[in-house]
Chains A and B, each alone.
Chain A
């Protein structure tokens, strides 16, 4: 018998990780992971940055409970943590008994142990539907193609006000029409599930910038690592994944620089070239993210709860919300519908 000789292969660490500014101040770029047309640039706290109050927030995966749906469009949530406040992510949805398949329209702040009634939720099930038991997740997220409309209809009441958008969304994906999100999710579940496994989080990660076929589609920042670990698979599968599938259906290609294999000298040379091409690609992605983070967004303060300020952002096709604890952004979700934009781009090209 031999003795097992093992060595841990370390990911190539960038000598000086890119530190972001503006909206993402205090964060730096980590490894880039990709699967198909979906790509995620990981965010982690920049070296030497104080985590501050970030660690005190509870994870929605563990502590966000849907208590009841007293009437259509109204949902009662509870933070089951008795010590930590909780930020319910934007556009979180529930497909489970007693929930009648609702989704929220904005980010919510819940104090420790607090039960919060929100009246501006959406019903995402126009007809009777089943449960997605296979998903094994406590919640899901509205697909990217619906989030802009969902955010614009916050603070309004009317449970069916997203049905038309869901209808045209499912139509785009070539599945049954109707204001019924599950009809889109169920037939695509087998293609969405691998995204959950493939887009792995890396140690220390608290957020990511999502690219679809090389175009930046959104940035998501969580308060801390456990929060991110719970939210990341949901974002990959339900929010950004469907947009990647649509891009694939439209024949879009992955934007990636091939490894130059001409005149290779030896394995060291091959390793160097691999490292270089990866660094270049990561740097170009980080540049795009930094450009977005430094935009002068229109900002509208929505509410102040438990010392946390929720602000809605807008700039051209970009919209989203951030939650600040004093000056520090502890939660951010800023996105654009790249699928709709690429459709518009094609029309512009056709018009000449």
Chain B
């Protein structure tokens, strides 16, 4: 297996699949050469959902156990799970393994009722694809009218994949459109069968609260109070066109913005920078409660930018400095040999006191000093405001390349949101930018350093360590 393909995966995993034409081929190759790694990537929060869908499509062709894949799929949010499973339909993948894998993930999902109640149409599309149109039609019929033959059929084709058969049956009834009145089709049917009766909604009483509420909201939108606005908007469009849109806003559950939370080390450092509480970086790192990660045997250098701009302002106040310090402190535990080259800062990072952001940003001199120690990789932890002759880092790296030094140089930029625009803050086109929002990103940094020390052909024993560093958080 090529070291470069794992590196490329790490570089591009946050981007949508469509961002690069090479990504799809790279993921397929990864699924063939490192299926276990790909299974873990399936449950990774940082990997883009469209890439996960492609990974799943690759994994159904691999020999990885179904249980392992489903375990990772269960870690995904409802929305992500449906997106990933829908990828099988969009790629027109079918066959026994696809069916069994998809149905195990869906029918055996611990939140199947909520998933069905909130995303009925998407779920139906997936189930219909997994079972096939005709089987789904039979399933609907047997769910509507109970019979021994029908129950056997349901058990064989569908319910055997469920962990809780009764709940799953109820959820599939909901997906089959039983228990509530279906909307009238916009066009009249070309063939009318007069003796065919529609099943009455009164035949079903859902035990699941989510299904009951979702069914009730189809009858009366007000019954859906507290449901997600997206779902209510959909129901209004189908069942209650005469209800004003403002009612949906009143009824919908308030959207809770996901608050970002700093890690314990970053929080301690931010507090220290504001109130001068901590005595040293080591004291702050002791607050760390992250998972155990393997130590990486590599000689690495970190250029740490603690210039005045690392103080930042507003909601970012002290974020670049605190997260940068936290990453260096945590990285020191994971890397066998780490030299830190500090530029800016009120004092030297030497175990006594926490340096406060101060001074200008002379990154080029620091990169040169780091290069003199002949490390295998240099990480430049900076907010990207290189102001001591902007562009000098790029020229210094160009000079290093001319001298035949191929040392990996990467820019690590602490950000508060992944969407932060860093286009004007990239030190050089030669230097990839690694955005880090949280101190748990230290695992990825260590993985990058580990890969930097590897030859072109990756040692098979190294991959599990990379996997743990990348996905443990």
**Chain A residues within CB distance 8 Å of chain B:** 1-2, 4-9, 11-12, 31-36, 134, 136, 194, 196-203, 254, 256, 258-259, 261, 264, 266-267, 270-271, 273-274, 278, 281
Interface pair B389/A194, CB less than 8 Å apart: no
Which of A9, A32, A259, A267: most chain B Cβ within 10 A?
A: A9
Complex alpha-carbon distance, A21 and B336, angstroms? 54
Cβ-defined partner of A11 (8 Å) among B312, B313, B314, B362: B362
Which of B281, B349, B383, B403: most chain A Cβ within 10 A?
A: B403
Segment from B45-53, B129-137, B365-373, B411-419 that makes contact with A:
B365-373
Top 7 closest A-B pairs, CB basis?
A200-B308, A6-B340, A197-B309, A259-B395, A33-B387, A9-B366, A198-B385
B337, CB-defined interface residue at 8 Å: yes
Interface pair A7/B340, CB less than 8 Å apart: yes
Interface pair A259/B360, CB less than 8 Å apart: no
Complex alpha-carbon distance, A36 and B390, angstroms? 8
B332, CB-defined interface residue at 8 Å: yes
Cβ-defined partner of A261 (8 Å) among B392, B398, B405: B398
Q: How far is the CB of B307 from chain A (nearest CB, A)?
A: 5
**Least CB separation from B285: chain A residue:** A4
B440, CB-defined interface residue at 8 Å: no
B351 contact set on A, CB distance < 8 A: 4
Interface pair B403/A5, CB less than 8 Å apart: no
Q: How far is the CB of B296 from chain A (nearest CB, A)?
A: 11
Cβ-defined partner of B399 (8 Å) among A33, A264, A281: A264
**8 A Cβ contacts from B318-337 to A:** 328-329, 332-333, 335-337
Complex alpha-carbon distance, A162 and B452, angstroms? 60
B361, CB-defined interface residue at 8 Å: yes
Interface pair A4/B340, CB less than 8 Å apart: yes
Cβ-defined partner of B368 (8 Å) among A11, A35, A194, A271: A271
**Chain B residues within CB distance 8 Å of chain A:** 281-282, 303-304, 307-309, 312-314, 328-329, 332-333, 335-345, 348-351, 358-362, 364-366, 368-369, 371-372, 383, 385, 387-392, 395-396, 398-400, 402-403, 405, 424-425
Q: Besides A6-B340, A200-B309, 16 other CB < 8 A contacts?
A: A2-B333, A4-B340, A4-B351, A6-B342, A12-B365, A32-B389, A33-B360, A34-B389, A35-B385, A197-B309, A200-B308, A200-B359, A203-B359, A256-B391, A261-B398, A271-B365
Complex alpha-carbon distance, A4 and B284, angstroms? 14
Q: How far is the CB of B388 from chain A (nearest CB, A)?
A: 6
Interface pair A6/B362, CB less than 8 Å apart: no
A264 contact set on B, CB distance < 8 A: 399, 402-403
Q: How far is the CB of B118 from chain A (nearest CB, A)?
A: 36
Interface pair B281/A4, CB less than 8 Å apart: yes
* Interface pairs (12), CB distance under 8 Å: A1-B333, A4-B340, A6-B304, A7-B339, A8-B345, A196-B313, A259-B395, A267-B400, A267-B405, A270-B396, A271-B368, A278-B392
Interface pair A11/B391, CB less than 8 Å apart: no
Cβ-defined partner of B360 (8 Å) among A1, A7, A11: A11
Q: How far is the CB of B375 from chain A (nearest CB, A)?
A: 12
- Are A2 and B337 also in contact (CB < 8 A) when A9-B369, A35-B390, A201-B308 are? yes
Q: How far is the CB of A63 from chain B (nearest CB, A)?
A: 21
Q: How far is the CB of A180 from chain B (nearest CB, A)?
A: 25
Interface pair B332/A2, CB less than 8 Å apart: yes
- A-B pairs with CB below 8 Å: how many? 142
B335 contact set on A, CB distance < 8 A: 2
Cβ-defined partner of A8 (8 Å) among B313, B342, B371, B405: B342
Q: How far is the CB of B286 from chain A (nearest CB, A)?
A: 12
**Least CB separation from A266: chain B residue:** B403
B328 contact set on A, CB distance < 8 A: 4
Interface pair B332/A11, CB less than 8 Å apart: no
Cβ-defined partner of A259 (8 Å) among B344, B345, B358, B399: B399
**Least CB separation from A281: chain B residue:** B389
Interface pair A278/B389, CB less than 8 Å apart: yes
Interface pair A267/B371, CB less than 8 Å apart: yes
Interface pair B338/A5, CB less than 8 Å apart: yes
Cβ-defined partner of B385 (8 Å) among A4, A194, A258: A194
Q: How far is the CB of A40 from chain B (nearest CB, A)?
A: 9
B339 contact set on A, CB distance < 8 A: 5-7
Interface pair B392/A259, CB less than 8 Å apart: yes
Cβ-defined partner of B336 (8 Å) among A2, A11, A35: A2
Cβ-defined partner of B372 (8 Å) among A258, A259, A267: A267
Interface pair A200/B387, CB less than 8 Å apart: yes
Interface pair B314/A202, CB less than 8 Å apart: no
Interface pair B312/A197, CB less than 8 Å apart: yes
Interface pair B385/A9, CB less than 8 Å apart: no
Q: How far is the CB of B80 from chain A (nearest CB, A)?
A: 31
- Are A270 and B332 also in contact (CB < 8 A) when A9-B343, A32-B389, A34-B390 are? no
Interface pair B396/A259, CB less than 8 Å apart: yes
Interface pair A274/B396, CB less than 8 Å apart: yes
Interface pair A6/B350, CB less than 8 Å apart: yes
Q: How far is the CB of B93 from chain A (nearest CB, A)?
A: 44
A258 contact set on B, CB distance < 8 A: 395
**Least CB separation from A282: chain B residue:** B389
Interface pair B360/A6, CB less than 8 Å apart: no
**Least CB separation from A42: chain B residue:** B360
B395 contact set on A, CB distance < 8 A: 258-259, 261, 274
Complex alpha-carbon distance, A12 and B398, angstroms? 21
Interface pair A34/B336, CB less than 8 Å apart: no
Cβ-defined partner of A6 (8 Å) among B308, B349, B399, B403: B349
Q: How far is the CB of B319 from chain A (nearest CB, A)?
A: 12
Interface pair A267/B368, CB less than 8 Å apart: yes
Interface pair A198/B338, CB less than 8 Å apart: no
**Least CB separation from B390: chain A residue:** A34
Cβ-defined partner of B348 (8 Å) among A8, A201, A202, A256: A8
Q: How far is the CB of B200 from chain A (nearest CB, A)?
A: 58
Cβ-defined partner of A203 (8 Å) among B343, B358, B388: B358
- Are A2 and B338 also in contact (CB < 8 A) when A134-B314, A136-B314, A270-B400 are? yes
Cβ-defined partner of A198 (8 Å) among B281, B337, B387: B387
Interface pair B307/A200, CB less than 8 Å apart: yes
**Least CB separation from A258: chain B residue:** B395
Interface pair A261/B340, CB less than 8 Å apart: no
- Are A256 and B389 also in contact (CB < 8 A) when A5-B338, A136-B313, A261-B398 are? yes
Q: How far is the CB of A310 from chain B (nearest CB, A)?
A: 31
**Least CB separation from A262: chain B residue:** B402
A194 contact set on B, CB distance < 8 A: 385, 424-425
Q: How far is the CB of B2 from chain A (nearest CB, A)?
A: 30
Complex alpha-carbon distance, A267 and B401, angstroms? 11
B308 contact set on A, CB distance < 8 A: 197, 200-201
Interface pair B388/A11, CB less than 8 Å apart: yes
**Least CB separation from B302: chain A residue:** A6
- Are A261 and B402 also in contact (CB < 8 A) when A4-B281, A34-B390 are? yes
Cβ-defined partner of B313 (8 Å) among A5, A9, A197, A200: A197
